[in-house]
A and B are shown apart, each in its own frame.
Chain A
Amino acid sequence: MTRTIPALRLDGIVKTFPGVRALDDVSFEVLPGEVHALMGENGAGKSTLMKVLGGLYQPDAGRIMVGEETVVMATPLEAKTKGIIFIHQELSLATELSVAENIYLGELPRKAFGRVDWRQLFDQTDAILGKLRVGFDARTRVGDLSIANQQMVEIARALTHDAKAVIFDEPTASLTDAEKVVLFDVIADLKADGVGIIYISHRMEEIFRITDRITVLRDGQYRGTVATADTDEEAVTQMMIGRALDLSRNESHHTRGDVALEVRGLSCGKLFQDVGFEVRRGEVLGFYGLVGAGRTEIAETLFGLRDPSAGQILLNGEEVRVHSPADAIARGISLVPEDRKGQGLVLGMNCRDNMTLPQVDDLKAGPFVAEGAEVAIFDQYRDRLDIRTPGWRQLVGNLSGGNQQKIVIGKWLSMKPDVLILDEPTRGIDVGSKSEIHKLIRELAAQGYAVIVISSEMPEVLHVADRIVAMYAGRIMRTFLSDEVTEDSLIQAISGLGEDRPAVPA
């Protein structure tokens, strides 16, 4: 039996940072024409491994082989010239330049006197774009493209090099279902060309749809490689977190209390129109819909970040006007925003100061911040939410995604709100922390909080919500009880295909 030479092979990679062994003897290989999933919780070592592969970190031990050649990559450029191409989650394109210029940036074809050979540039680019079957051409300004199409530009860039291995890092994070299909077709093409592909994602359904093998990391260690066909979600999850996971449908239906928040005929320009719903104490109301359906905008309006153009907001039966987050906070509304790093946290601040930020004016000893009281609050929520950090002095930017999110949740819980809104509470968070946060949301409802959860993941809304509001294009299509709804009817409602019935408040 002749053994295929791997497109990319990692052998005994070790990388340590002060106090942490981030990668501990990690070995695996990607064959040509294989889609190889790399999985693990946040903090398992995936990012460090990718930085080693990308030439940003030098491994302390071990070697990397591309084909039959052992390579050392001191800079990202060297990684690229060796044929290792990254498609990043956060795109790195010059939005003011054309598609063609972005693809050939740094390698523009030249004519005499160093002038750019535009015709050749555009022709070459159109040839590549033709292969990808995309709906835009070489002259399009990148800033005018959707995120999905910008990603295609990144992929096209990869194709111009002699790619041996292409690494996709959470490529579907901001794609619609239709766009995903296109992406998967492109991956299939790359595969057919004999390129080795590493696919990093938290989304199980994608992993099982497109990958051939799965390698799992946990705590910086290699936990094994399995053929995708021979395993299932449960087994992979167990490899990742070392235990089984609960993702059942929520059937609890707590005894619900009074209406905490009621919204009537709320509109905000073109973002959403005539939205009405209510949330009672002790229940979780889920908002499900596609990106852009208006869910986040409703949350931002309730939190005083946008002014509604019409409608009423009633808190505990009393109409209120909320003009700023400070107003909202004073009235007992808390928002865990969707963009954890951009909106939720000051990354250069320590854990304690981040957690007490909204109430820093209230925690006073004379004219000064009562630091003792702050530490007490931090300790209380660290224990309650099981936040893993060496101490309150740790900068939030150094924590894992799951722990960062718990800091944000702790920040808003410590405000003891009447209504807690969580927008995409588990985005980009590993499976283990995800299930902890789900459990926490259920507990909060049980303790009498009125909770709103906005999510783009159906299993999540089904798991945590008592009722689910389905939104499409700025309108509420229907409200479902989560233990009665079928996945089909939910998908129909958020695609605008369901019966156009007004919302039924339960």
Chain B
Amino acid sequence: MTALSRERIGTLLARQGILIAFAIFIIAFTLANPKFLTVDNVFSVIRSSAILGVMALGVTFVVISGNLDLSVGSMMSFSTIVVLDLHDKIGPLLAIPAMFAMTLALGALIGLLVGYLKLNSLIVTLGMLSAIHGLTLTYSGGKNMDIADKEGTWFSVFGQGTALGVPVPILMFLALAALLGIVLAKTPFGRKVYAVGGNGTAATFAGIRRARTVFTCYLISAGCVATAGLIQASRSLGSQNTVGQGLELEVLAAVILGGASLMGGSGTVFKTVIGVLILGFIQNGLLLMGLQFYVQFVVTWIIIILAVWLDIAAKRGRLWSPIA
């Protein structure tokens, strides 16, 4: 019986490990800096996590369907640059749908390659990361993009506005999370995403059109990226070509931290939101502790490794095993 309960505790630790580690982090940061657990700081963490969070929502679909999307960072740069450029050329009312259409077209291209041509998603999206970056630079001619009249545009509402005292980016993040959470958990499409990621062959044998499902996941991911680009552009009203650079790994870290398996078939939107918040709080805590901004990159990587390890350990029921 002792062996049994030890195994159980091990499983529990591994399953809830992230939350336990998170709690320890919070306590340590709060003791180190009383500013950490204040309403202002919590609000600012959520607001700064909103862009990452919106992107992570879409990537959640892709990861559950058993694929990867490493192109979201450079795709977000693209969306931001395009919408800023078009803002002055055709006005915000037309610029926003035009930017969405162009971003969705990129998502559709990835969806075609990964879904219908069945190419490896790692290769395709890693290639797209670079290709879209090139596309953005070509589009902008390598220059930063700025809106001419920064004071007089209503476009700033998505990034800087508030409604009922809550910043609009937070509202957009939470609304999109609620919508996509319901789509994933409650609709036939969501069910198919889990089936395709859990066992694509069995899904095909059940009459599910696997290619179409994967394609749609990439469209959702691109739609989320366009939304994130909109918030980013609206917040700063000007941007470099590399604004989204490196975000793909943070997004993936958040999704995995939330507990989605890289093998596909598991994860939820709610868990991803938790993952986003954990990542945001940890990065904020490190800054408050006075660590250099650049240390974040190292810490983020360590967190990803820990998350993946705990994910595997939870499945095995122990931290180390001689077999996979």
Residues A328 and B207 in contact, CB atoms below 8 Å apart: yes
A113 at interface, CB cutoff 8 A: no
A145 at interface, CB cutoff 8 A: no
Residues A358 and B195 in contact, CB atoms below 8 Å apart: no
Q: A325-B206, A369-B186 are in contact. Are A76 and B322 (CB under 8 A)?
A: yes
Chain B residue at smallest Cβ distance from A335: B205
Residues B198 and A348 in contact, CB atoms below 8 Å apart: yes
Q: A326-B209, A343-B202, A360-B188 are in contact. Are A348 and B4 (CB under 8 A)?
A: no
Residues B194 and A349 in contact, CB atoms below 8 Å apart: yes
Residues A77 and B187 in contact, CB atoms below 8 Å apart: no
* Central interface residue in A17, A325, A346, by most chain B CB within 10 Å: A346
* Central interface residue in A75, A347, A357, by most chain B CB within 10 Å: A357
Q: A76-B322, A346-B198, A348-B266 are in contact. Are A337 and B188 (CB under 8 A)?
A: no
Which of A337, A361, A368 is in CB contact (< 8 Å) with B186? A368
Instruction: Map CB proximity to A onto B168-201 as digits: 1 under 8 Å, 0 otherwise.
Output: 0000000000000010001110011011001101
A side interface size, CB within 8 A: 37
Residues A342 and B4 in contact, CB atoms below 8 Å apart: no
B265 at interface, CB cutoff 8 A: yes
Q: How far is the CA of A346 from the CA of B193 in the complex (A)?
A: 12
Residues A326 and B207 in contact, CB atoms below 8 Å apart: yes
Q: Give every chain A residue within 8 A of B89 (Cβ-Cβ).
A: none
* Central interface residue in B3, B198, B204, B323, by most chain A CB within 10 Å: B198
Instruction: Map CB proximity to B onto A205-218 as digits: 1 under 8 Å, 0 otherwise.
Output: 00000000000000
Residues A342 and B202 in contact, CB atoms below 8 Å apart: yes
Q: How far is the CA of A76 from the CA of B3 in the complex (A)?
A: 19
Which of B1, B8, B182, B191 is in CB contact (< 8 Å) with A357? B191
Q: How far is the CA of A348 from the CA of B3 in the complex (A)?
A: 26
Q: How far is the CA of A358 from the CA of B191 in the complex (A)?
A: 11
Residues A58 and B205 in contact, CB atoms below 8 Å apart: no
B side interface size, CB within 8 A: 27
Which of B1, B188, B201 is in CB contact (< 8 Å) with A343? B201
Q: Give every chain B residue within 8 A of A390 (Cβ-Cβ).
A: none
Q: How far is the CA of A358 from the CA of B192 in the complex (A)?
A: 10
Which of B188, B192, B265 is in CB contact (< 8 Å) with A348? B265
Q: Could you tell me the distance in whole angstroms from the C-beta of A111 to the nearest C-beta in chain B?
A: 29
Q: Could you tell me the distance in whole angstroms from the C-beta of A55 to the nearest C-beta in chain B?
A: 8
Residues A368 and B187 in contact, CB atoms below 8 Å apart: yes
Q: How far is the CA of A238 from the CA of B191 in the complex (A)?
A: 43
Q: How far is the CA of A348 from the CA of B66 in the complex (A)?
A: 13
Q: Could you tell me the distance in whole angstroms from the C-beta of A16 to the nearest C-beta in chain B?
A: 6
Residues A349 and B205 in contact, CB atoms below 8 Å apart: no
Which of B4, B182, B195 is in CB contact (< 8 Å) with A349? B195
A274 at interface, CB cutoff 8 A: no
Q: A357-B206, A368-B186, A369-B188 are in contact. Are A346 and B3 (CB under 8 A)?
A: no
Which of A76, A329, A346 is in CB contact (< 8 Å) with B207? A329
Residues B192 and A360 in contact, CB atoms below 8 Å apart: yes
Q: Give every chain A residue within 8 A of B201 (Cβ-Cβ).
A: 342-343
Chain B residue at smallest Cβ distance from A367: B187
A12 at interface, CB cutoff 8 A: no
B208 at interface, CB cutoff 8 A: yes
A345 at interface, CB cutoff 8 A: yes
Within 8 A of B (CB), among A33-72: 56, 58, 60
Q: Give every chain B residue within 8 A of A324 (Cβ-Cβ).
A: 207, 209
B157 at interface, CB cutoff 8 A: no
Which of A335, A357, A363 is in CB contact (< 8 Å) with B195? A357
Q: Give every chain A residue within 8 A of B195 (Cβ-Cβ).
A: 346, 349, 353, 357
B203 at interface, CB cutoff 8 A: yes
Q: Could you tell me the distance in whole angstroms from the C-beta of B212 to the nearest C-beta in chain A?
A: 10
Q: A361-B188, A411-B206 are in contact. Are A18 and B4 (CB under 8 A)?
A: yes
Within 8 A of B (CB), among A338-370: 342-349, 353, 357-358, 360-361, 363-364, 367-369
Chain B residue at smallest Cβ distance from A344: B202
Interface set of B (CB-CB < 8 Å, partner A): 1, 3-4, 8, 182, 186-188, 191-192, 194-195, 198-199, 201-209, 265-266, 322-323
Known: A305-B205, A369-B186, A369-B187. 15 other contacts (CB 8 A): A16-B1, A17-B4, A76-B323, A324-B207, A325-B205, A325-B207, A342-B199, A344-B202, A348-B199, A348-B266, A357-B203, A364-B188, A368-B186, A369-B191, A411-B206
